[in-house]
Amino acid sequence: MSKAIVATTSLAGCFGCHMSLLDIDEKILDLIELVEFNKSPIDDIKTFTKECDIGIIEGGCCNSENVHILKEFRKNCKTLVVMGECAIMGGLPALRNNVVSISECLEEAYLNCVSVQANDEKIIPNDDELPLILDRVYPCHEIVKIDYFLPGCAPRADLIWNALVALITGNEMDLPYEVIKFD
């Protein structure tokens, strides 16, 4: 059986979900037998070099680059899986959605906050290289179609592992209570 090709990325997340992905202890050896990584921070491949079977997304979308990458993933992956609260619901970054508008948020951060120093020209970062910030943080499923959702902050390593195995083998997923119990 040829190995499944997997791509992963972290959008507006904290890389915690990726840490959890690596937290599978010795099973990491099994993982390498099972899959081949393409675009992913794990192997540092920056762009898709072939069509992938599974794309795993951490984090929601807070800027135009996130949106761009998410759409790339949808185009290049047969199955798209989101992992963690940020990808599913926006998570911690989405706190700003409820509190203030993006303009207030930026003005507070770069102009008005007591700790702002040496911004005499009153510039809000605007270099052309910077991604454009969205009005609010969006969960991935509002932008592209998502096939599977893995909850948790971060999801348990076993949950990610079991989901991957189920997707690759086509067997039913092993979903014991412990892996989706959060408190």
Partner 1 sequence: MGNKQSLNSRSHNKCSCNGDDLELILGKYNNDPKRLMDVLIHIQTQCGCISDLAVKDIAEAFNMSKVDVVQTISFYHFLSQEPRGEYTVYLNDSAVAKMKGRDKIAQVFEKVAGTKFGSVSKDGKIGLFNTSCIGMNDQEPSAIINRRVFTNLTEVDVERIVKSMKEGLDVNDIKGRDPVPNILLKGPILKNEGNITDALKKAISISPDEVIEEVKQSKLRGRGGAGFPTALKWRTCRDTKSEKRYIFCNADEGEPGTFKDRVILTERPRLLFTGMTIAGYAVGSDEGILYLRFEYKFMEQYLENILSKMRKDGSLGKNILGKKGFNFDIRIQFGGGAYVCGEESALLESAEGKRGEPRDKPPYPVVKGYLQHPTVVNNVETLCCVARIIQKGVKWYCSVGTKDSTGSKLLSISGDCKRPGVYEIACGTTINDVNKMVGAEDVQAVQVGGPSGVCVAPIDFDHKLAYEDLATGGSIIIIGNKRDLLKDIVLNFTEFFLEESCGSCVPCRAMTNQYKKKLEKIIRGNGVAKDLEQMLSWEKVMKANRCGLGQTAANPITCSIRNFRELYESKLKTATDFVSEFDLEAAVQEYCKTANRIPNLGGDHE
179 and 162 in contact (C-beta within 8 Å)?
Answer: yes
Among 142, 175, 176, 180, binds partner 1 (CB under 8 A): 142
Among 23, 36, 107, 158, binds partner 1 (CB under 8 A): 107
- Which of 33, 44, 114, 145 is the binder for partner 1 (CB under 8 A)? 145
Contact residues for 163 (Cβ-Cβ < 8 A; gap 6+):
81, 148, 150, 173
Phi, psi of 65 (to 5 degrees): -70, -40
Q: How far is the CB of 93 from partner 1 (least distance, A)?
A: 14
Instruction: Let me know: does 9 contact 57? Beta carbons within 8 Å.
Output: yes
Count of positions (residues) in the chain: 183
Q: Scan residues 6-45 and list those touching partner 1 (CB under 8 A).
A: none
The span of 10-18, 30-38, 138-146, 157-165 binding partner 1 (CB under 8 A) equals 138-146
**DSSP-based three-state secondary structure for 5:** strand
Q: Is 103 in the site for partner 1 (CB under 8 A)?
A: yes
Question: Which of 24, 106, 168, 173 forms a contact with partner 1 (CB under 8 A)?
Answer: 106
Site membership for partner 1, residue 64 (CB under 8 A): yes
C-alpha closest to that of 132 among 49, 82, 62, 45: 62
Q: 122: left (phi > 0), else alpha (psi -120 to 50), else beta?
A: left
67 near partner 1, judged by CB under 8 A: yes
Of 37-45, 47-55, 141-149, 161-169, which part binds partner 1 (CB under 8 A)? 141-149
Residues binding partner 1 (CB under 8 A): 64, 67-68, 71, 101-103, 106-107, 124-126, 128, 132-136, 138, 142-145
